[in-house]
Amino acid sequence: MNLQVVGCSYHSTSIAVREKLAFNGQQTAEALDRWREGFPQVEGVLLSTCNRVELYMAGEQGLPGSREVAAFLAGFHQLSAEEVAPHLTVQTGRQAVRHLFTVASSLDSMVVGETQIVWQVKEAYRLASERRTAGPLTHAAFQTALMVARRVATETGIHQRRVSVPSVAVADFARQIFERFDDKHAVVIGAGEMAEETLRYLREEGTRHITIVNRRLERAEELARRWEGKAVGWDQLTEALATADLVISTTGAELPIVTLESFRQIERLRHSRPLLVLDLAVPRDFEPAIAQLPDVYLYSIDDLKTACQRNLHDRQQQVPAALAIIEDETERFLAEWRHRATAPVIEQLRRNWENIQQEELRRLFNKLPELNERQREEICRCFDRVLGKLMHPPLESLREHSRHGFPGALLDALSKLFQLKD
């Protein structure tokens, strides 16, 4: 049984190359169909994210090499194999198993501890199962990988500290000011990627009343529909700020959109209600002097980045414990994998001994025709126990040797001792 992964990742391949090789959901399904047609004897799972494109393969016999995989990936994207091959790395056996477990547990991610990757691994495995390119070997590997990811998540603190600026803004800084969010009015200024990620965290914290302000109203309306908020035009920014409890600003404006002078006018409408402003924009959207006003808590992206770096450091402290889990589970999986390879020899040994058992039982019952049904059952159970005890030592020896490598010599010895045929 062989397991191999061929692919590229952010570690050594530029985004310019990765984006050429990337697969969306529909393309992944089509690629798996082509894989099944081209390599019907080889199981395959294709994992494609913004940081990696990796093909996991497994089979009883030999597997395609990196050149064949390069030709397959390149052909799908109308690229030449020569253009793709230099960027692909190959990991086999133990390396491949450990790599899969490390990826699923987010230890190989650009941001260690990010939670999206486990969903991506699960989705890649689901799609391969649906397209019938996953089989017993990849089933075992990916199901174990997801179990390892759960162990890492529950037994270490690697996911507990948030490290993205929007997540820290909401979960760390805003939580210092507000005990609850369901009764707060949050205003998000801007409608780009940063704003959308912020909206996700606001919803996770239970925020119900969200207003999105953007120069392009249609973009604000699109986000509002997706996150169940309210969209308003740029001309209503003052009104939105006057009723806000929390403001998160993410625009790309070159100059502050709220100056000290303009905020003084807003302040009169607020009647001394406290306001938290998380300015995630570069350049800053809120003039720094606003922070000196009473009842205003203003933080810039630099303040948040410091917290992100501190949280990332805390995550890094959890890496050794997570790696220990991965090493433990890798050895356990490989031992079970190698032990599984002994199944044909074990089955043949068991079958031979069961045939002998049945032959001797028939002989015995023929000599003792006066036995009733209950006595016959008791004798059969006795023979079964003897067979089980005879099988136990060779099974344990095979399992023990499988922990340290494939027990080929022991299998050969058993085959010769008991005259097992291929």
The whole-angstrom distance between residue 351's C-alpha and the CA centroid of its chain comes to 42
Q: What percent of the chain has pLDDT over 90?
A: 46
In a domain, 104, yes or no: yes
The tens digit of pLDDT for each residue in 121-132 reads 999 999 999 999
pLDDT the model gives residue 403: 62
pLDDT the model gives residue 344: 67
In a domain, 188, yes or no: yes
State whether 175 and 287 are in the same domain. yes
State whether 368 and 266 are in the same domain. no
The tens digit of pLDDT for each residue in 357-412 reads 888 888 888 888 888 988 888 888 888 888 788 777 776 776 666 566 555 565 66
The tens digit of pLDDT for each residue in 79-106 reads 999 989 999 999 998 899 999 999 999 8
Strand partners, 7: 54, 89
Range of the domain at 255: 165-305
Report the pLDDT averaged over residues 290-294.
Answer: 93
State whether 6 and 154 are in the same domain. yes
Per-residue pLDDT band for 262 (boundaries 50, 70, 90) equals very high
Which CATH number fits the domain that encloses residue 202? 3.40.50.720
In a domain, 295, yes or no: yes
State whether 140 and 213 are in the same domain. no
State whether 231 and 288 are in the same domain. yes
State whether 180 and 322 are in the same domain. no
State whether 361 and 323 are in the same domain. no
State whether 25 and 138 are in the same domain. yes
CA dihedral of 140, 142, 143, 144, whole degrees rounded to 10:
80
Q: Which residues are catalytic?
A: 50
**What b-and-e string marks burial along 231-250, b requiring 16 or more CB atoms within 10 Å of the CB?**
bbeeeebeebbbebbbbbbb
State whether 45 and 93 are in the same domain. yes
Would the pTM count as exceeding 0.75? no
State whether 276 and 407 are in the same domain. no
Query: In degrees rounded to 5, what are phi and psi of residue 228?
Result: 55, 45
Report the pLDDT averaged over residues 297-301.
Answer: 87
Domain count, the chain: 3
State whether 282 and 322 are in the same domain. no
State whether 9 and 125 are in the same domain. yes
End position of a domain, from candidates 249, 282, 305: 305
In a domain, 310, yes or no: no
Q: In what order do the strands lie in the sheet with 246-249?
A: 230-232, 209-213, 185-189, 246-249, 275-279, 296-300
In a domain, 312, yes or no: no
